[in-house]
Amino acid sequence: MYVALFSAKSYDKEFFDQFNDSVHQFTYFDAPLNKDTAKLCDGFDAVCVFVNDKMDKKTITLLAQYGIKLIVLRCAGFNNVDLLAAKEQQIKVFRVPAYSPNAIAEHAVALILTLNRKTHKAYNRIRENNFSLKKLTGFNLNGKTIGVIGTGKIGVEFCKIMLGFGCKVLAYDIFENEDLKTRGVVYQTFEEILEVADIISLHCPLTPETQHLIDGEAFKKMKNGVMIINTSRGAVIDTKQAIKALKSGKLGYLGIDVYEQEEHLFFKDLSESIIKDDVIARLMSFPNVLLTAHQGFFTNEALEQIVKITVQNISDFENGKTTDCEVKIS
């Protein structure tokens, strides 16, 4: 099949060229896919998109007019796709439900350790010949209460790691994982976790139910000085309320690999640009905030799996094969 791959970066080209094995013909576009760039899809059979490509009704309608029959996501989340519009236009949607849960779970732990032990600040000090330990005090993870919101594949791996640190792990999910329970993870209500957790790590998809799950009311229920880690989707946290919680001291640490308005910023070199987003600028002004640009997935193993599953999804669609990777709505 002829596939237009949008939001293409150098690593996308490298891995797709390496693992596609000439099964399908990919054409790479640096631009994101949206209603303004949909015309580039003329002559293709399918589009391959990432987290910040905008698959709204207008875009999907245009894709159908250009003959697109397949939207294949090279990621797990599909909140950026209007599934109803895709169904109406008879365009199938496939995703990569799991590529390397360990990669994202480990990145969440990296955010915790960096925020806690301030290794990023220590590194910068040493580079300037400043060997002082002043204001680098952290805390032991061992014995702390960790709240995990969402125990899908990534959440499961995160729980296992934190159990290894000797933490008390509490979890919330509408579907409880029996294996985690045998390992010592205790399921509680969302509100109960907010009240007792020292660290809260978010591993849930973005849905209407989880949009701004962590809002002003949620912050009020948390312990003073709580640490929040988000490697799921930016809009799970109400960022403006997080800023208020940081200013009041309620939120002691914030580590995020995702951001509500990241499509305007992430995956771009803006080092010579003026950032016009005042919200993220305010976030970055806090000494207890650590922000990474959606790099949780960014390991060799994950990239290889993403490509292999994406290529297989396209082949399965072409051959009319039923697969769990297809995203359906009733």
Catalytic site positions: 233, 262, 294
Distance CA(249)–CA(49), nearest Å, equals 39
Q: Cβ distance 239 to 112 under 8 Å?
A: no
26, 70, 304 from 22: Cα distances, Å: 9, 19, 16
For tokens 């005090």, the residue is 137
Provide the sign of the torsion angle of the four alpha carbons 7, 229, 276, 210, taken in this order.
Answer: positive
CA 78 vs. chain centroid, Å, equals 11
HSE-CB of 148 using CA atoms within 13 angstroms: 31
Quote the DSSP letter at residue 43. Answer: T
CA 64 vs. chain centroid, Å, equals 28
Q: 3-state DSSP: the chain helix, strand, coil percent, rounded to 5?
A: 40, 15, 45
Q: Cβ distance 198 to 169 under 8 Å?
A: no
